[in-house]
Every structure is written in C-alpha cells, then in structure tokens.
Amino acid sequence: MITLEGTYYDGRTPVAVPARMEFARGSALLIAGQTSLRHAAAALSVSPRIGKADRFIALPDNGQFQCPDHPFLQSLPQASPSEGPVAWLEERWGVALAGIAITACLLLAGYFYGLPAAAERVAARIPVETEQTLGRHALTWLDEQKWFKPTNLDLNTQKSIRAGFDRLRSDLPLKSCYQLEFRASKALGANAFALPGGTIVITDGMVKAANSEEEVLAVLAHEIGHVELRHTMRSLLQNSAVAVAAAAVTSDAASLSVAVAGLPVLMAQTKYSREFETAADEFAFKLLKQKGYSPLAFASLMERLAIKYESDKMFVYVSTHPVTEERMKRARAAAEE
Amino acid sequence: MVRCSCGYDPGGIPRQQRELAIKFNGSAREYFRIWIVNLCLTLLTLGIFSAWAKVRKKRYFYSHTTVDGTPFQYLGRPIPIFKGRVIAATAFLTYYASSHFFTALLPYVFAAGAVLAPWVLIRSAAFNARYSAFRNMTFHFDGRYLGALKALYRWGIIPVFVLGMLFNWWGKPAVAGIALLVFGVSFPWWIRRVRDFLISHSSYGNRKGIFSATGGQFFGVYFRSGLIMVGIGIVVTMFSAMLIASMAKKSTLMVWFFAVPMYAGYVLAYAYVQAHSSNLVWNHTWLGPLRFQSTLRGWGMAKLYVTNALAIVVSLGLLIPWAVIRTLKYRADHMRVLQKGELAEFQGSDMSAVEAIGAETVDFFDMDLSL
C-alpha cells in the first residue's frame, strides 16, 4: 500500500483541507478531515510532472488532491500523456548539454547553408509575374512621392543604352521580364537598382558618372544579376526567416527582445545582402564577357564613384554597394581569365 | 492587522485582514533545461513543438507560483494551442503577404483585423482564464464581442484610422498631426477602458473583478515617464554639446556621447511605465475578499532590464532562462495579496470549454494585453 500526504480541494470553494490518499489493489482512498472517499485508481487523472512542483490528481467527483511528486504517480492515468517524454528530457543535464549543441548546430547550419539553399529553391518556384505587380507598385510609389523626376538624358543616349541593355538580356531565361527606366533624382544621386520583377532603374547621375557606355552596361549587368538570381524574393524569404528564428529564440525575454536581438538580426541580414552583391557581381562579369565587354569597366566605375563619394558624400550607390579591394580584385581577375 | 502565511486555511473565524504570501520559487537551473529542450525541439520540428513548449513553460511558471502555499495550475493542452497557432500563423502570413506584395489589399486586411480584434481579445482572455486554476477552481471570463468592440473603439479611433487608410487622408500632414495628438492624449483612457473590460469580466468562483483606476491616473503615469524622457534629453543634449565644444579633435564617435545616455533615458522611461502602470492596475483591482498591492519601482525594473540584457548578450543567449526566472521572482517579491473576509466566499460554478484560438493569436502577434 502506498500513502501520499497532501491537500484536498472540493472544487466548490478554494479552501485547503489537509488530506492523504491511500492506494491499494487498484483503488484509491481519499481521507480528508471527517470524510473518506474511494475511487478506482483507473478513474483518476494526474497532472504532468514539471520541475519539482507538486502534482494534482483530479478525482471523478471534480475534487482534487495535491501532493508532492512521487514515482508511484507515474503508474496512474496521465492527464496529458504527450508531456511525459518531454518531462523526462527536461530532467537530464546530459539532454540539456546535447540540446545546446544541437541548437547551436541547427542555427549555424540553417543560417549558413539550409536557409540560403531553401530560399533559392522556393524563389525559383514562385513565378516572376507575382513580383512584377510589386515592382510596378514600387515604381509608381517612388514617382508619386517625388523621389524621381523625368529623365533629362537626350534620346540618343537613351536609345544606345537601351540597345546595349537589350543585347545583355537577349539570351537570359527571364529576358521578357526586363524593363529599363531612366529617372532623374537629386536625393538618390548616381544610382541604379533592380525593382522586383525585372524593372531596372538607372539615374541620370549614374549615366553621367560613367565614362563610357560600357561602364553603364556594367552597372546594368550587375542589376540584371539581381533579377536573374531572384535576389528580391530570396532576401525577403531569408530575412523573414532570420527574424522569425530570432523571435523564437528570444521569445522568453520578450520585453528585451528588441534590445537584445535587434543588432544580431541586423548583422545576420547584412551578411546575406553582401553575399547577394557578390553573386550579382559574378553574374555580371560572366555576362559582360560573354557579350564582349570587359569587367574592368565595372571596377573603374566603382572606383571613380568611391572617390567621388569620399569627396562630396553624395553618391549613395557605393554605400549600399561597398567598394572593397576584394571586389575590384575579382573584377580584374574576371577580366584576365 | 493579523499577518499569517501559514499553509492552510483554519476557516471559520472571520478575521479583519490577513496577508496571503505570494512566492515564486522557480529555479534558473531547472528552467534552463526546460527552455533548451523547448527551443531545440521547436527548431527540430520547424515550430510544431512550440505548442508543447508553451504549455511546458506556462506549467512551470504556474506550478512554481504559490499563494498561501498553494501553487497555481495551468490546464492548457498542446493540441488546442497548436490549432490556434496554425490559425494565427495563417493570419500573420496574410498580413505579411499583403504588406509586401499586394499593398492595394492592405487597408482591407487592416479593416478585417479591426473587426477581428475584439474577438481575439475575448477569446484569448477566456482561454487564459479557463485554463488557469487555483485550488481546483478555474478562473472565468464572460466578456462578449460587443462589449469588447465598445471597449476598444468607443471613440471611433480605429474606424477613423481605417477610413483614413482607405481614402489616403494620411498623406495630409495636418490631418495626420491632429490625429496623432488625439491618439496620444486619449491613449491612457483607452488603456484604462481595456483593462476595466478585462478585469470586470473576469471572475473566480462567483466573484467578479472590480477595477477602480481612472484614466487620469494612467495619464499621470505616461506623463511622468514623458517628463523623465524629456528631462534626460535636455541634460544629455546640454552636456554632450559642452563636451563636444570643449574637445579639440572632432570625430563621428562623439555621436555615442549623445546616443548612449539617450537610450538609457528611454529604457528608464519604459521601465517607469511598465512598473507604475502595473502597480496602478493591481492596486485598483478587487477580487471578492482579495485585494492586491504591487510596489514595483521604475528604477528597479530598469536595473533588471539592463543587467538581463547584458547577461543575455554576453552569454550568447544562454542566460535567457536565468533572466526570465529573475524577473518573475522580482515581480512576485513586489506583490502582496491581502485578504479581508473568507476565501469560502468564492463559490465554484459550471465551467464551459473554450478553444485555444484567441489566446494564440495574442501570443503570435505579441500584443501584450496581459496584466
């Protein structure tokens, strides 16, 4: 016979009554003050084990018996059986250490390999057309908000850049999606960017900063790389996944999560965006060579923009496309191959 | 005043007033193991385990919080929570997709959200109450959709906001400025109304909560936290201006002289609001023979936040469970429960089952509506 000391609650008033429960031959006898009640052990329901906390035994008559944890309670019917194995895991330091190792591996592997690979596959399955609406909206919005003015480039310049652009895109899988837009913008300076769905915007400032048409095409090839490699969709997927994962890890420290997780999340996302820049560079160098242009044009334009940026702090393109030694080296290496 | 924190109710003799001891006796080591198992399995199962994780976490917090020697009991079960999470995730994805891809739909999504918000509020309050028990009696929440709608929108703030989105009124700076001012000033009264709705529809046994704080008191809390922020801002600006002027060599690093104390000021103001609005709510709540005394301090909370954040960063997140346990202990240490009359006044009643959907939506969107 097993006897457990504890407290009885009748379920009608929150009054605690000292009680004990005796288990013998499949039946349970509850003795609380003057009353004693007998139930079949199989009709009881025991709350899950958690830490060293007391357990609650629900009785068939809506009463409840509360007592310290005891191994015998595991042999009674459980209120939430699926939590049993979880409680087993939670009680072991070995499991906790393994948990740290597995969590660290999962987060690192997911961040460096899993997530980029998964985002690439998912992005490849999403039709470009869904992005095009987004791109058109973005351009209309930018125009409406006066970020842009109509271009001041003369028609001949536009036409010859367009011809070069058409040559660049002529063999690409997404060739029918591209659309080249010229805009003047004081705020954005010498700039070029790809909007989702294949719209590529180049500012007058950028065209003027370039010494030759080849240099303009080099920038456009880089932007084509972003479109062709589906970078908008992939960065959206990857950045959201990083944010969700960070929220999951810090959810317990919710009141601190912005302060604690903000910077790491930003750093993690910056690394992805740098990788996309490198990938777009590689794509551009290959495309330029294939079409008979030199990747050196890209390097020389970027260097010139960097010098201008240093002197008058105006060119924003290089702030999102940092000019590094490494990048220039790769452009030169691509040109020599 | 008779003070007594013995484990059992002697019952019978009416007393003037006694204090029921409230304790949180969770341990960081124990909770660490629960936390890491939860995190690891949630990642391995791509989020499915998070429903179990939530149950285990709440079970731990409830079971280790005792009033008058008796722990609370969490009755929520993983499967209904999982169902709720799926629905919440769908709602979140709808919002996310519409804010990124189909921006034209966004006003309609907001409108749908505004219509659903009262429902989310009552369902989550009902779920939390229904699955929280003390001494074998669950709490109960009987707020209805219309009541929640009135509590949330009595001044028509959100409908106006949605209409503004639909017809693009927000483009006009004058309209937006006035609206912002109205929002800002009326916010404390709005908070009071929502709290009042939640508390006065909550019950334990046959006793309903009574809430007596006024909007003016809430306004005072926010106003004083604003003063803290402005005061620190003025002092910091003056000092950093003097410091920078006195230095021969200028560098961009000087931004930090300004930014760091300003951020500290923000943390202090935030902690002040957290501490004192919590005090305000508890100290003006009655539940049958029980009343509460919360004595949180802004300064203490700020110290807690800063040391927690530092510990978490330095330990690469491994001290999160320690920070959580420490915070709960701190809150319990600053809470008193006073009893005037008999606990037997609470008479149990029939309980009805509630689905988990509402509670999960609150969790997922992280709208902290809890006390």
How far off is chain B from A302, nearest CA to CA, in Å? 25
A335 Cα distance to chain centroid: 35
Nearest-neighbour CA in chain B from A145: distance (Å)? 10
Looking at the structure, do residues A223 and A276 belong to the same domain, yes or no?
yes
Range of the domain at B175: 75-205+349-371
Q: Do A80 and B366 touch (CB under 8 A)?
A: no
Task: List the single residue in A with minimal CA-CA distance to B318.
Answer: A100
Q: Is residue A145 part of a domain?
A: yes
What pTM value is reported for the model?
0.82
Domain of A157? 129-336
Residues 68-87 of chain A with CB under 8 A from chain B are 80, 82-83, 86
CATH number of the structural domain spanning residue A75: 2.30.29
Q: Residue B331 — left, alpha, or beta (φ > 0 → left; ψ -120 to 50 → alpha)?
A: alpha
Q: Mark the ranges of chain A whose per-residue pLDDT is less than 70.
A: 253-261, 309-324
Asked if residue A283 and residue A222 are part of one domain, the reply reads: yes
Q: Is residue B363 part of a domain?
A: yes
Residue B325 tokens read as 């346990």
Domain count, chain A: 2
* Residues A86, B64: C-beta atoms closer than 8 Å: no
Spell out which residues of chain A touch residue B346, defining contact as CB-CB under 8 Å.
13-14
Q: What are the pLDDT tens digits along chain B (371 aa)?
A: 344 444 444 444 455 788 998 999 999 999 999 999 999 999 999 888 988 998 999 999 999 999 999 999 998 878 777 877 787 788 888 887 777 666 677 778 888 888 888 888 888 888 888 889 999 888 988 899 999 988 888 765 655 665 666 566 556 677 777 777 777 788 888 899 999 999 999 999 888 999 999 999 999 999 999 999 999 888 888 888 887 777 766 666 667 777 788 888 888 899 999 999 999 999 999 998 999 999 999 999 999 888 888 888 889 889 999 999 999 999 999 999 999 888 888 887 655 444 444 454 444 433 323 32
Measured in angstroms, the CA of B248 and the nearest CA of chain A are apart by 23
pLDDT of residue B1: 37
Q: What is the pLDDT of residue B184?
A: 77
Domain co-membership, A149 together with A26:
no
In a domain, A52, yes or no: yes
Check residue A40 and give its pLDDT.
92
Same-domain check for residues A83 and A156? no
Taking a contact as any Cβ pair under 8 Å apart, which residues of chain A between 113 and 152 contact chain B? 130-131, 133-134, 137
Rg, C-alpha atoms of chain A? 33
Buried b (16+ CB within 10 A) or exposed e, A146-157: eebeebebeeeb
Task: Mark which of A87, A111, A141 sits at the end of a domain.
Answer: A87
In a domain, B355, yes or no: yes
* pLDDT at res. B309: 86
> What span, in angstroms and rounded, lies between the C-alpha atoms of A100 and B282?
38
Contact A200, A225 (CB under 8 A): no
Residue of B78, B40, B71, B72 lying closest to B56 (CA atoms): B78
Please give the pLDDT value at position B369: 31
Rounded to two decimals, the ipTM of the complex is 0.81
Q: Quick check: A239 contacting B, CB < 8 Å?
A: no
**Per-window interface: B 36-95 vs A, CB < 8 A:** 36-37, 39-44, 47, 50, 52, 55-57, 59-60, 63-64, 68-71, 73, 77-78
Residue B84 has a pLDDT of: 77
Q: Tally the domains of chain B.
A: 1
The answer to whether position B173 is within a domain reads: yes
Answer whether residue A14 is part of any domain. yes
Residue A317 within a domain? yes
Answer yes or no: is A33 within a domain: yes
* Residue A207 lies inside a defined structural domain of this protein: yes
Same domain? A279 vs A146: yes
Find out whether B306 and B267 touch, Cβ atoms under 8 Å. yes
Q: Does A243 touch chain B (CB under 8 A)?
A: no
- Residue B321 contacts A where some CB pair is shorter than 8 Å: yes
A260 interaction partners in chain B (CB closer than 8 Å): 309, 312-313
Angle, helix A325-336 to helix A296-312, in steps of 10 degrees: 160
The phi, psi pair for B145, rounded to 5°, reads -55, -45
